[in-house]
Amino acid sequence: MSAKAIDNADCNYGSHLWQLVSADLKKCYGQNLYNSWFIKINFQEFLGSNVILRAPTNFIRDWVLCNYYHNIIKSFKNYDSNISVIEIITAKNIEFASEVKTNLTVIGQDDVNFDDLSSYSDARYTFDNFIVDSSNRLAYTAAISIAQASEAIKSYNPLFIYGGVGLGKTHLMQAIAAYSKANNPARKVLYISAEKFMYQFVKALRNKDTMSFKEKLRGVDVLMIDDVQFICGKGSTQEEFFHTFNALADNNRQIILSCDRAASELDDMEDRIKSRLNQGLGADVHATTYDLRLNILKSKAMQMNIEIKDDVLEFLATKITANIRELEGALNKIIAHSSLVNCAINLTSARTIFKETISLKKIDVSIDHIQKQVAKKYALEIHDLNSNKRLKMMTRPRQIAMYLAKYLTIQSLSDIGRQFGNKNHTTVMHAVKRIELLCHNSYEFKSEIDSLARSIKN
């Protein structure tokens, strides 16, 4: 084949891969986010094991890299394990103004209507259907106290709820909104995702209308911003966030924020903001316990008025440990299946339904199990993996175990760190990068890790 033909073949293959990955991203993030960001990105070329993509503007490139890099590379690797790095390039010399403009044609379709704040409460999420146990009690108690209070609670301002995905942070914020709407409708409560906050801010900048944006935000009694880890990297948005925050707190308005990690772990956030976020109450939602999972399943089945045998619920609570969102998905699947075949679900059929899902989505791999297998393979004890000892015979297996935890479970870096002797998420990130590099540089090493991963999954 001529060099040109190889280039063309590469390009076709690359475009095809990007189509597959884009379809995954659409499935994962939904049509709206897909239209906002990924639809505008094209495959450019391969450079060795690097995939080069092309974005129309720096703004889109930065946003996508900042928020979605990890999932993009993960999805690419699912299709081609040789891929190790994704780069996004842009056409040079694009003015900031035109970037904002390009982006905002999409943003306009997704505006938050500030005048109809109530539309942002989701009726499914209430305090009544939130199951409490030791893993979420602090966050629950603080949230319900805020909902019941008539004004801001100083010692909880801000309330900073943090923890891994699918553990009830959004549920609690929505429950505050729902409670206020029902019991104290005069209290102005605004729930907004950090991404929408950023959209609105950029839109106001473009329209030279930041004053009314500020006024609207500052006119609320309770401001909730969900997933503040997305407010990162952009100087002016952080600045606005900080001023809004101060203005509200100074006026004794309540602020509630959620985040996938502790405030101190927000690497891209300015220090003065981090320290401000720490001045109220930080409420950590921990990984779920077996009892919590079982109680949630029982409560959901009861709400739906569907009888499911205890052994089936126990099976789900044992197998699906990652988070509550996954657990709900599993329960819905069981219910859908039983209505489809029109028979009550029993343990054998539940097992059959899940066999495929579990091995596909790897949701039954626990960090305990990964640690056990890695310790066994390298003739160590589990506490060696969780310790801080820097002996080489321990650090490499520890990094491998963290890497596998990242790829075989859907737990956040912070959650993983916590389960490795309370380590910081940056330690986990460092371990993941280190192992990725070693895999990239040595085929033998990569095979060793792949075979370890397979034995853990089976």
270 binds ligand ADP (CB under 6 A): no
Please enumerate, as own/partner, the contacts of 40-45 that have beta carbons within 8 Å and a separation of 24 or more: 41/88, 42/15, 42/18, 43/11, 43/14, 43/15, 43/17, 43/18, 44/14, 44/89, 45/7, 45/10, 45/11, 45/14
Residues 111, 114: Cα–Cα separation, whole Å? 9
234 binds ligand ADP (CB under 6 A): no
Alpha-carbon torsion 51, 55, 60, 61, what sign? positive
411 binds ligand ADP (CB under 6 A): no
Q: Tell me the β-bridge partners of 53.
A: 43, 88
Residue 169 or 234: which CB sits closer to Mg ion? 169
Residue 170 or 427: which CB sits closer to Mg ion? 170
Question: 4: which residues sit within 8 A by CB, 6+ positions away?
Answer: none
Q: Which of 82-90, 151-159, 322-330, 436-444 is the region at the interface with ligand ADP (rule: CB under 6 A)?
A: 322-330
> Which amino acid appears at position 339 of this protein?
S
Residue 168 binding target from Mg ion, ligand ADP, none, CB below 5 to 8 Å by type: ligand ADP
Chain centroid, CA 138 distance in Å: 21
Residue 83 or 285: which CB sits closer to ligand ADP? 285
Total residues at interface with Mg ion (CB under 5 A): 2
Torsion angle in degrees (nearest 10) through CA of 147, 150, 154, 157: 40
Q: Closest separation between CB of residue 35 and ligand ADP, Å?
A: 22
157 binds Mg ion (CB under 5 A): no
Choosing from 36, 170, 193, 399, the residue that interacts with Mg ion (CB under 5 A) is 170
298 binds ligand ADP (CB under 6 A): no
Q: What are phi and psi of 44, to 5 degrees?
A: -110, -60
Q: Closest separation between CB of residue 43 and ligand ADP, Å?
A: 31
> Which amino acid appears at position 360 of this protein?
L
Total residues at interface with ligand ADP (CB under 6 A): 16
Q: Closest separation between CB of residue 170 and ligand ADP, Å?
A: 3
Subset of 126-165 contacting ligand ADP (CB under 6 A): 129-131, 136, 165
Residues within the interface to ligand ADP (CB under 6 A): 125, 129-131, 136, 165-171, 296, 324-325, 328
